[in-house]
Amino acid sequence: MQQRIQQAIFTLLALVIPAFALFQSYELWQAGASELDLANIIPALLLTLTYWLIGLILLLRLFQRVEARLLFLLSQCIGLALLIPLAYPDPRHAPFFALSVSITGLHFSGPLLLHLHISFPRRLGGNPWRRRILVSGYILAAASALAWWLQAAPWWQVGILYTVGVIMLAVGILIFMYYRRSSADDRQRLRLVVLGTALPTSFIIFFDMLPTLAGFSLRVPTWALALLLIFNPLSYAYAISRRDLLGVDRLLNRALVYAILSIGIFGFYLGPFLLLYRLMPENIGLQMIIISGLTLFVGWSFNGARMRVQRWADQIFYGGWYDYPGVVETVSDALAASTERSQIFAVLTRQVPEMMQLASANLWIGRANATYPHTPPQQERFRFKFQSEVPAQWTVSAHKDGSDLTENDHRILNTLARQAEIAINNMLLIETLRTQLDEIQISREALAQAQRQLLRSREDERARLARDLHDSPIQTLVGLNIQLGLLLSTSSLPPVVGEGPIGPRETISEMRAEVRGLLGELRQVCADLRPPMLDALGLGAALRAHADEWGQQNNIRVHFDAPEDITLSKLPDEVAVNLFRVAQETLGNISKHARASSVNIHLRGDEHQLQLIIHDDGRGFSKPPTLNGLPSQNHFGLVGMRERIELIGGDWSLESKPGEGTRVDVAWKHA
């Protein structure tokens, strides 16, 4: 409620100057205003409205803050105080009421200025002391104003002298605070304000007010005073926009950006629209097409244009300074999105110095247990340690223009350093994880490589063994068989008579039978080691022969579904042998576990790609979700098949459900 009342009062106060200016303009226009000329009225109006506008912006933006309300009241009073004395070449000829309003404004601006500068930038003195000073200041100002309105000589002159004194005191306090009590930040903000307040105030007091009071007719021209006095609100405006005084800069910055954008939209969109409407009022179809195109263009270009204008506005606002909340926001976002070393380095060593106008910044991230590097004493230093061993250090130097880091800079850098610590920690964790994953991947690759090598060498060894058996013992036995056959065919051997000892013919005959038996066994061993059909006839024939033989041995119906002429004899040896082994293993599994009555073997393809499907009608089984656990249960068959097919770069899959048989799918394509 209290705030509502306050807001209502301030709104009414904000209307005082425009109402007064309008009223006075009307009066002057009615009166003919012959003695006025534009050289007086325009500077006076401009100056008053500048004060009025700056006060109003501050009030709207920062109503909650006492300084803002004080600055508003002060600017309104100064605005009023300046309007009439400056608008008339000789204020004594001004209407009494108008001049009295101005003089009242002047009287109240004294204690208001005092009030402002004992509160801002630093609060001065204890509360009772402040209250006494301010209450008496305002009472005396009211009394001075009353003395003027009553024209009670000499009190109104005393009142004006009193106000001049108070203004000088307030300016003195401001200067004292600036030199003695301000931090580096405050000084940067207040340098212009002090200059903008002290210079015009002193000038107007010594060269206008005091001479007027003393009755000198020689006055400084109005335009020169206006030029000087306009420096005062402008210094506040500049401090507000460039030095972040009272944090109003962002409001002004965004207002500027969106004003420019609005004008831009009007220019690009509404302008052509209205022109079009005027030039072609009949052609609605064409209008719609062009308007849609313009709408799309505005939509498409809006974001880019906004960013460009924002950059331009930032350059104007923060060209020699920077936007504190903007820095924290932008850098925090950039750090949060950084997961790699290079990104963090870019943010901390390029982006931050650029935004904060720093001469340089360095980031060092050491190896585990390294010692921190030496830091030059003039640099600000932030040290971190991660997982209690990995050190990191971020150093930043002073501003590019050589000025020291302010308290605000330190606060921002501390905030950013905390963010950086989190970002670096995350990055190091990610790096550690990546390294571990890489190591796991490398070990897995090496293991797979070793397994493949093992498979290859085992196959090579089997082939070599089969070849050796074929070339040596089998050939010897074949030769022996022939020799024994020849021996038996010679007629010189005597036949056995009666039941006597076994004769040479029978012995040779038995030997020959044993040789043939041995030959048969060795041949089987050889065929198991390396199917001879595979080398002589290719995979197609070898599979067909093996399937026929397997079907007969196990009494299972085999349907070999493959083109008659499929030989696949040009298939790479490694591919042929591994596919054959997978088929062999699958059929072996079927005969051992499936209890199938028929098996379908489907083979299609050529030397570049082929597909092999073996499907039985057996009892099937519940397939585990992954085969990886099977070796630990001593089931190597399925995993072995998969490895063999992976070795040749093919795909292997198995489908099975209890009661629905099992299907093994192999697909291979030449790389």
Partner 1 sequence: MTSVLIVDDQPVFRRQLRQLLTHAGLEVVAEAGDITEAKAMVCQFQPEIAVVDVMLPGISGLEGTPQLKALAGHLRVILVSAYQNFEQAAAQVGADDFIPKDELDLETVLLWKGT
Residues that bind partner 1 in the complex, under the rule CB under 8 A: 470-471, 474-479, 481-483, 485-486, 489, 515-516, 519-520, 523, 526-527, 532-533, 535-537, 541, 545, 549
Closest distance to partner 1 from the beta carbon of 640 (Å) = 26
Strands 598-605 and 557-561, sheet pairing:
parallel
Please, what is the minimum distance in Å from the beta carbon of residue 529 to partner 1? Answer: 12
Q: How far apart are CA 195 and CA 178, in angstroms?
A: 11
CB of 476 to partner 1, least distance (A): 7
575 three-state secondary structure:
helix
Tokens of 378: 């003039």
* Residue 653 bridge partners (DSSP): 665
Q: Two tokens at 485?
A: 């056959």
Shortest approach of partner 1 to residue 467 CB, angstroms?
9
Q: Which is nearer to partner 1, 19 or 482 (CB)?
A: 482
Q: CB 575 → partner 1: shortest distance, Å?
A: 19
For partner 1, the closer of residues 290 and 480 by Cβ is 480
Closer Cβ to partner 1, 115 or 512, answer by number: 512
The torsion angles phi and psi of 362, rounded to 5 degrees, stand at -130, 145
Q: What is the Cα–Cα distance from 448 to 517, expressed in whole angstroms?
A: 42
User: DSSP assignment of 600-646, as one string?
Assistant: EEEEEE-SSEEEEEEEE-S------S-GGGTGGGT--HHHHHHHHHH
- Least Cβ distance, residue 630 to partner 1 (angstroms): 34
**Strand partners for 612:** 603, 666
When the beta carbons of 479 and 631 are compared against partner 1, the nearer one is 479
Tell me how far apart the alpha carbons of residues 613 and 608 are, in angstroms, rounded to a whole number: 17
Q: Which residue lies nearer to partner 1 by CB, 315 or 475?
A: 475
* Cβ proximity to partner 1, 228 vs 603, nearer residue: 603
Report CA torsion sign: 167, 171, 174, 176. negative
Q: Which is nearer to partner 1, 523 or 593 (CB)?
A: 523
Q: Considering the complex, what minimum distance in angstroms separates the CB of residue 483 from partner 1? A: 7
Nearest residue (CB) to partner 1, 314 versus 535: 535
Name the maximum alpha-carbon separation found in the chain.
Answer: 179
Least distance from C-beta 450 to partner 1, angstroms? 32
Q: Is residue 663 within 8 Å of residue 654, measured between CB atoms?
A: yes
Nearer to partner 1, 303 or 490 (CB): 490
b vs e for 248-282, b when ≥16 Cβ sit within 10 Å of the residue's Cβ? Answer: bbbebbeebbeebeeebeeeeeeeebeebeeeeee
Count of residues in the chain: 671
99-104-105-111 Cα dihedral, nearest 10 degrees: 150
Closest approach, Cβ 475 to partner 1, in A, equals 5
CB of 509 to partner 1, least distance (A): 12
Strand partners, 614: 601, 664
* Residue closer to partner 1 (CB basis): 517 or 649: 517
CB 70 within 8 A of CB 112: yes
